[in-house]
Structure 1
Amino acid sequence: LDQSVIATGFANDGQSQPAAGQVASKTSTNNFINFCATVPQLPITNGQQVKTGSCNPAPMGIIASTSNMPSSKFVFPQNFGTIQANTAFTVQMAIKNLDTGFFVNANENYFAAPQFTNSQGQIQGHSHVVIEQLSSLTQTTPSDPTKFAFFKGLNAAAANGVLTADVTAGLPAGVYKISSINSAANHQPVLVAVAQHGSLDDAVYFTVTDNGTAATGNS
């Protein structure tokens, strides 16, 4: 371990200035280099998507500055919009401050390298869209992340600041939430310089009907 990269602040548990409910941080004097040895019951992630859980020794990497924090906004479907059931459509999502088109082999290099940036400081990565069916637009119970109606990695570079995904089979009639998952090249969630920031992702809600028109108040 090169002594010049040791983060001496990692030895501080943060409790010198306690706040109500604040817990002590884990500490290390060697950048947690052997952290995974403390959880021998877990396999090393090793670039794999281990569904039962794992321990990943890769460092977080380059943290994006506040002026380079990514964000996204869905163009289509629109929030509270209505589209026709079982009909192909194209998701459109505007993206900024993410150098898109960078994705690695998700089966062999998952979380296997640090986040990195381009010469302008923008995270080099890609995005995803996931569509989940809801019981209603007013659903308040958390959804099940293991279940989704559509998922697509947006691996291409954005065209004129917009990423797209074709939902070729459409969706059955119902109510849906569509969310972005903006990621670094090795599929980890993007990391930024400060804790207090606006959302780095977007989510909108839309309805799918048999005729593609919104239900009226009398229907």
Structure 2
Amino acid sequence: MKVASTLSSLFFLLPLLSQVSAQGNQNNRNGGNNNQNGGNNNQNGGNNNQNGGNNNQNGGNNNQNGGNNNQNGGNNNQNGGNQGNNDPQTSLTLNPAVIAPGFANNGQDPPVAGQVASLTSTNNFINFCLTVNLPITDGKQIQGGSCNPAPIGAIPSIDNMPSGKFEFPPNGGTVPPNQQFTIRMNIRNLVTGNFVNAQANYFAAPQQLNGNGQILGHSHVVVEQLQALDQTTPTNPREFRFFKGLNAPAAGGVLTADVTDGLPAGAYRLCSINAASNHQPVIVPVAQHGSLDDCVYFTAAEAGANNGANNGQNNGANNGQNNGANNGQNGANNGQNGANNGQNGANNGQNGANNGQNGANNGQNGANNGQNNGQNNGQNNGQNNGQNNGQGRNQGRNGGFGRGGFNRPRRLARETL
């Protein structure tokens, strides 16, 4: 009974135990799944972390984009500022309205003998200085050379071309050496008194005109020493005795410069340099025009030195000429007198022949007079006078023929011929 009871209990418990075991296995499986799910969750968590990292990275990109947006915003603000100002003089863009189409033509259509082709440009040479290995001028006086990007600027009409003429010293004039004197130059068609800082603004702006179309500018004067006034060798532009920029307006159309210490004795050339406000030489509208500047030549010397030399030369020449002419005239007169004396001697000789011994004596005296006068006059008055006086002397000798020698005058006549 006990055995049967035990077996029936087992039969009853076995299904229950099987169910519990199955559920346990299922739970274990589910636990494994849960573990797997947990792994998945961990993996998902990793993905989430990765996504979070991406999100952070994206956030960084967004921040970077935000920075770009801010930068763009700054550019927009800058552009907005330009649009608000709309000033072409501050714009870095070349306005098409100022492009010169003629700059694209090299001038060789057709070619001309001796004429070279021009440089060409379709953008007004705005970047020309990139083509040369030189620093930008930038308002400085660069002694080693530079490239200036400033345009030439406004050009006057032909009726407004400037010119100047020196009043003192005059051409060929003289100033005392080492003594102060004042240069004076008459100026026309230049609005003087416009003189910018030569150390900071040299060639730094275009040429400008006033309301009447005349160049705004000033002038300079420069004195160079020469070897002589007739010097033909070119001077060295780096060497000069005196230089001055005339930055004051002209007074009554006259510009002046005081040479305070004067100049040493010597020969000099004085020239003007008419310039625009920024010191560039003035530019005019046509190639064929008179000189825009002036030059004169003068000396620094004591006034008496030059005048004395000139007077000495002139007086010497005049004295020589006058004395020679007078002497010649006197010689002619002397010759004539000799001839007269000779003639008188001849007459006396003839009278001596007629009158006898007294006529002979008179003839002899006439001969002596003729001979003495002829010889003396010939020696004093030269070759020409000597010939003339010789004629007188011969005639004087003829006067001695009163002693009766009638054949001798014919022999003397042949000797004279």
| CA distance in 2 between partners of 1:188 and 1:130 (Å) | 16
- Coordinate RMSD, CA, aligned: 1.1
Report the Cα distance in structure 1 between the residues aligned to 2:209 and 2:306, rounded to whole angstroms.
43
Could you tell me the TM-score, scaled by structure 1's length?
A: 0.97
Q: Which residue of 1 aligns with 2:134?
A: 42
Q: Secondary structure at the match of 1:28?
A: coil
Aligned length: 218
**Which residue of 123, 128, 133 corresponds with 2:220?**
128
In 1, Cα distance between the equivalents of 2:302 and 2:237? 26
1:103 to 170, 195, 205: 195
Instruction: Give the counterpart of 1:80 among 154, 172, 195.
Output: 172
Deviation >4 Å, runs of 4+: none
1:143 aligns with 2:235: yes
Q: Counterparts of 1:13 and 1:54 in 2: how far apart (Å)?
A: 25
**Residue 63 of structure 1 is aligned with which of 134, 155, 179?**
155
Q: Which has the larger radius of gyration?
A: 2
Cα distance per residue 1:107-140 (max 9 Å; x no partner)? 0000000000000000000000000000011100
8 Å contact kept, 1:84–1:212: no
* Alignment map for 1:12-23 (pairs within 5 Å): 12-23=105-116
For 1:133-167, what per-residue CA distance to the aligned partner results, in whole angstroms no more than 9, with x for missing partners? 00011100000000000000011000000000000
Aligned to 1:24: 117
Q: 1:183 and 1:49 mapped to 2: Cα distance?
A: 15
More strand by share: 1
Task: Give the distance between the partners of 2:304 and 2:179, measured in 1 at CA.
Answer: 9
Residue 25 of structure 1 aligns with an amino acid whose one-letter code is S
What's 2:251 paired with?
159
CA contact (8 A) 1:75 1:92 kept: yes
1:182 to 1:112, Cα distance in 2 relative to 1, 3 A: same
The code of the aligned residue for 1:96 comes to R
Q: CA deviation at 1:19?
A: 2.0
State the SS of the aligned residue for 1:93.
strand
Note the C-alpha offset of 1:64: 1.3
Q: Is 1:119 equivalent to 2:187 in the alignment?
A: no
Equivalent residue for 2:275?
Answer: 183
CA distance 1:162–1:82, change in 2 (3 Å): same
Contact conserved, 1:179 with 1:203, CA < 8 A, in 2? yes
Whichever residue aligns with residue 101 of structure 2, its letter is T
Distance in 1 (alpha carbons) for counterparts of 2:112 and 2:257: 45
2 CA distance for matches of 1:155 and 1:17?
46
Question: In 2, Cα distance between the equivalents of 1:65 and 1:105?
Answer: 27
Distance 1:71 1:20 in 2: 33
What residue in structure 2 maps to residue 53 of structure 1?
145
Q: Which runs of 5+ in 1 are unaligned?
A: none
Q: 1:89 and 2:89 equivalent? A: no
**Distance in 2 between the 1:178 and 1:153 partners?**
14
Distance, in Å, in 2 between the alignment partners of 1:36 and 1:176 is 39
**1:211 shift after superposition:** 4.6
Code of the aligned partner of 1:48? K
More helix by share: 2
Q: Does structure 1 residue 203 correspond to structure 2 residue 292?
A: no
Give me the TM-score of the superposition, normalised by structure 2: 0.51
